[in-house]
A and B are shown apart, each in its own frame.
Chain A
Amino acid sequence: MSSIHSEVDRPQVEEARFSLSTHLYEWVSTVDHKRLGLMYIVTALLFFVIAGLMATIIRLQLAFPNGHVVDPDTFNRLFTMHGTSMVFLVGMPFVAGLSNYLVPLMIGARDMAFPRLNAFGFWIFLFGGFLLYFSYIGGSGLSGAGSAPDVGWFAYAPLTSRAFSRGASTDYWILGILVAGIGSIASAINVIVTTLSMRCKGMTLARMPMFVWVMLIDSWLIIIALPPLSAAQIMLLIDRFLGGNFFNTQSGGSAVLWQHFFWIFGHPEVYILIFPAFAILSEVIPIFSRKPIFGRPAMVGAVAAIGFISLGVWAHHMFAVGMTSWSNTFFTASTMLVGIPTGIKIFNWTATMYGGKLRLATPMLFCCAFLFQFLVAGLTGIMLATGPFDWQLHDSYFVVGHFHFTLVAGLVFGLFAGMYYWFPKVTGRMYNETLGKWHFWLFTIGVELTFVPMHFLGFLGMPRRIYTYAPDRGWDFWNLLASSGLLFQLPAILIFVWNVVYSAVKGKPSGDDPWDAWTLEWATTSPPHEYNFETLPEVRSSRPLWDLKNPNDPDWRFE
């Protein structure tokens, strides 16, 4: 543990008696990027738990054939809300929360470029989330789980038309997400402008930490890929409320057009979601290997390539729609190509670890598991990218297994690594390492148990989004195994929550730089002052603190 800044004697301010209303007002009216970042992340974790409970009910229903835990309509609402929540109310706020908290600190800035826009983005995201969940009680009320949407998270037309989705449930889906999406775009513009216009002296673009680069490219993707979703949703609103014909097949409209528009958003979206994990790994692995990231320019180039290519692969979600063989081949090709820069990243992370001195603390454990699991996820992605193979696998449990591997075994593992890594910076206290390891092992076992069997269910012909199945299809055993993973995942999450809450209050003070790290956020107090930096170290390379701590072997001699 080392501390960068000098000990200065500061006059203490006498704090008045604790006032809840003042405290609350401060949080509600804040424009401080750190508080907003935390609010994003805490809200995301709350939705994570809620959507996770939905998944628990789904797995209970599917644990045995002819299950009767919930009726078909409730089940259909559950998987719709589970997917919608996880993507838009967990994944996206994590993107926003992590960038907002860390980017200004990492580039030596005092706050984001547009602090009030930042606050606006958070509150409108929260409102969108409330609107979506209000669907449970709005409309026709609580009878049969109210009016929650039941059209699947990608809401294909014409199932979403007035004719086939009566009532207000689909409207809640549209409006909730449309509104939350505005927040995402606002946050993304803020991140881009911040990285371009708010860097401290010496912090050239080339010297920005990997985390900042990845979130910058992520924000580019957001501002390009989210508008197509908003556009499609506006079109659906016009169809549903004004009698428009965008997706009305009776008047010549095309149901496939919705799919094109949705997936032009939807595929970049999954890269938008996974980039924070890439960003976190690129910070955590070097510190816990005691080596710089291997091939920094290639890593940045790979992320840029992934971002760019991901805009051209969307129709691999539509291989079964009956496109021409030329289209199917093109999208097979582009989808496989996007796997290449992703693979390069895995190689580079491994090469960073190679020859290093690996400290297998909790953040690093999550990173190591990520490497294996994301490798599997990427390879099953190659299987899905192969058009003819996809004709079998599309819309089966193989796909469900694949995307849960990328998002849970991938993204969520990366997020845990990041949360443990920056926990001391945010709270000023260290988490409990033993509990962290328990969380890691239980969660890993649970995730493998739940999502590996799904790939086999896909091979055996089980389609997705079915509320039950017959007992003689050979699906019983794998479904039961998948559901048993809950027994490990649920305690793991409980341990995590306990560890976070307890350590934030009673953990050992961690100091400014408990991990002996190299980027600017570790050059200030834990937690940082409201104004972030009292003094900034000189920035002459991508590892300013390494240079400071190793004056005989600074990076700027080699960069």
Chain B
Amino acid sequence: MLALSAAAAADLPEHRITNIFNPLATPAESEKNIALLVFAITGVIFVGVAGLITYTIWRFRQPPNASHTEEPPQVYGSNQIEVAWTVLPILIVFVLIGVSARVIAAVENASPPQAALKVTVIGHQWWWEVLYPDYGIVTANEIHMPATNDHKNATYLQLQSADVIHSFWLPQLSGKTDLIPNRTNFMWIDPHSPGVYVGNCAEYCGTQHANMLLRVVGEDPKSFKQWTIEQQKRAVDDPQAAEGRAVFESLACVNCHNISGLGKASSGSKFGPDLTHLMSRQTLGSGVIKNTPQNLRAWVNDPQVQKPGCLMPSMKLTPEELTKVIDYLETLK
């Protein structure tokens, strides 16, 4: 059962090509629709005006060595034409404003239904803290939610920041909203089908802004429920990994990373990602590398290799200490 949800996630299609014109959730769909309308209007304008400019240049060009003894008729202007090409754009703009107003209202003012899933995302330099307040779940970087075709079951996100401004952007699910310190922003997404959706932090937030990646796992309701049950559990306490656990607790690891259920060693620290269910996640370092034993070992040995400038230092473990710690971490499913 424990391995079930991790395996299930591994089977899901991962959408790596995040084309905004291939929307997989409602907000992205309405944004695509307005985009197509704007394309249509601007496309017509472009063809018309560019055509006019092209024709003008072609028709009235003079060969390079033409002597111009005679100047063409000196036309100063025409009031009717000016009015015409002022009024027409104004009308077009009014249409666009009207349509935009409607979509803005629909996306921004949608109020969360009672039963909707609520997730709090807190941006850190350069990882995402993820909380499910109604479930008491604390995790990081990978956000699970039910896939739904029905707006009622959308996931409502509360966005905050622990340090600088970040931005939450999964192009196929929704346009972005910023995470700003001392401010709470709201958005909602509803992935229509099970799958893994990726995105990036979209507001420059310092050295490793490029590697602050997002991962949303949309699951069918049963799998999602299974996932929440597992996430709510305390850390696995495998007696075979007791040595590794001791190393973990004795070094400075606990100062940044919380692992629930360790008694006094559960620091509750939010400085680094919660590791209680580290092995349930597909990636490490907020999307930088896949979560495999070799990668985990390399990461813990020296995170600065994969993510130079990130705030986790290399703890300079000896190979034996490293092996023990990795063995322990590998038990945290």
Contacts and interface: CB of A to CB of B under 8 A. Distances in A.
Nearest to B170: A461
Given A255-B165, A388-B30, A463 B181 contact: no
Contacts of A468: 210
A356 B72 contact: yes
Given A73-B207, A295-B82, A389 B181 contact: no
Interface in B143-187: 159, 163-165, 167, 169, 171-172, 174-178, 180-183, 185-186
Given A249-B181, A461-B169, A558-B76, A329 B100 contact: yes
A391 B45 contact: no
A396 B100 contact: no
Nearest to B184: A322
B177 A395 contact: no
Nearest to B87: A340
Contact of A382 (B42, B81, B171): B42
Given A388-B34, A461-B200, A376 B60 contact: no
B105 A383 contact: no
A465 interface: yes
Interface string A179-193: 000000000000000
Nearest to A346: B49
Contact of B93 (A250, A337, A371, A459): A337
Which interface class (under 10, 10 to 19, 20 to 34, 35 or more) fits B? Answer: 35 or more
A353 B200 contact: no
B105 A388 contact: no
A553 B182 contact: no
A324 B186 CA distance: 11
Contacts of A558: 76
B178 A322 contact: yes
A359 B67 CA distance: 10
B263 interface: no
Q: Counting chain A CB atoms within 10 Å of each CB, which of B17, B41, B56, B103 scores highest?
A: B56
A298 interface: yes
B93 A466 contact: no
B18 interface: yes
A18 interface: no
Which interface class (under 10, 10 to 19, 20 to 34, 35 or more) fits A? Answer: 35 or more
A188 to B, nearest CB: 29
A150 B3 CA distance: 44
Interface string B16-54: 111111000001101100110011011001100110110
Contacts of B72: 289-291, 355-357
A252 to B, nearest CB: 7
Given A388-B34, A389-B35, A463-B201, A336 B108 contact: no
A357 B182 CA distance: 62
Contacts of A469: 210
B34 to A, nearest CB: 5
Contacts of A254: 182-183
A295 B38 contact: no
Contacts of A462: 200
A73 to B, nearest CB: 6
A396 B203 CA distance: 9
B71 A290 contact: yes
A75 to B, nearest CB: 9
B66 interface: yes
A391 B208 CA distance: 23
B74 interface: yes
Interface of A: 71-73, 76, 152, 156, 158-159, 163-164, 249-250, 252-256, 289-292, 294-298, 320-322, 324-325, 328-329, 332-333, 336-337, 339-340, 343-344, 346-347, 350-351, 353-361, 368, 371-372, 375-376, 379-380, 382-383, 386-396, 459-469, 472-474, 550, 553, 555, 558-559
Q: Which 3 A-B pairs have the closest CB atoms?
A: A391-B175, A461-B18, A466-B210
14 contacts: A156-B165, A164-B163, A325-B105, A347-B49, A355-B73, A358-B62, A359-B62, A388-B100, A391-B27, A392-B35, A392-B176, A461-B200, A464-B202, A464-B204
